[in-house]
Amino acid sequence: MLTYAQRRAFATDGYLVLEDVVPQEVRAQVEGEYAALLDSLCDGWVTDGLLPQEVMQQDFWQKLLTAYEAGCDWFQPMDISLPGDEITADTPMHFGPAVFDMVTCSAVLDVVEALIGPEITSNPIQHLRIKPPRPALQSGEIRAHVTQTDWHQDRGVGLEEADQTEMVTVWIAMTDATEENGCLQVMPGTPDTMLPHCPKTQTAIADGFIDPAQALPLPVRAGGIVLLHPLTPHASLPNGTDAFRWSFDLRYNVTGQPTGRAHFPDFVARSAAQPETALTDWRTWRQMWEEARAELAGEAHIPIHRWQSDAPFCA
């Protein structure tokens, strides 16, 4: 749980950094799950002639780099969401027991409860973020979950239906996040306004509405978290090291309130009033996303952002 001083700091500043929240054993299970997933992906790419057989002798990070440099997309098969663009019946995604245990980790939910109360829904706006070393980034790489993230507010990348939803973002560091390897940075201060966003390379705050020179970097060690108010402007720094930086970006909202992405599945992660409604089986979580994928593959694309490029502040 959070102290009064921590809750006050979050309300005043719009963010809070907490070290040593996600237990090492939880992170170790996630690491193992992703290592097995990457092995499976690489095995398929070797079979297809896209990677040399020698890649199977490399460690996790070397496999990631080798595959990325060869143009093999590991991001979407590893992500814990469907993409915001076109969805097909075989769009890859990952929903496994270790990630589910992290999303429903009691230590994380205790912190969330201190901010939004005990009726907690796991919001479907969630992502894996594995950032390659900047020198290795491919020319034209624009995916925010792979390269550095532009300035935005989390409420700004949901739909209007969730503008009044009580929500908090939990950014989990799987590796140490430093200024050198691309940690988050924020505009501190009491957040109270939705700023205009534009569909730039990513959905980003329109030019002139913030001063990046006032940004505050938020380094945090592996196992720590960064809590963000949905109106806090934030971005990530570029990864200027020769190693990857890994994190997860999770959201939670008060149960019964709109998520901002209603066509993706949410679930009750904790409930004091109706504890029996909390989801405890990761297989059900996976099935919910598989059913959503099957349904969305047969429909017209549903936009996930509200912003238009012809708006006056985007010109």
Q: Is 70 exceeded by the pLDDT of residue 145?
A: no
Question: How many beta carbons lie within 10 A of that of residue 304, not counting itself?
Answer: 18
What are the boundaries of each domain within the chain? 4-299
Tokens at 93, concatenated: 């995604």
**Fold for domain 4-299?**
Jelly Rolls (2.60.120)
| pTM confidence score | 0.94
Task: Tell me what pLDDT residue 283 has.
Answer: 98
pLDDT, tens digit, for every residue of 37-79? 999 999 999 999 999 999 999 999 999 999 998 999 999 999 9
pLDDT, tens digit, for every residue of 212-242? 999 999 999 999 999 999 999 999 998 889 8
pLDDT, tens digit, for every residue of 250-288? 999 999 999 999 999 999 999 999 999 999 999 999 999
Task: Tell me what pLDDT residue 138 has.
Answer: 64
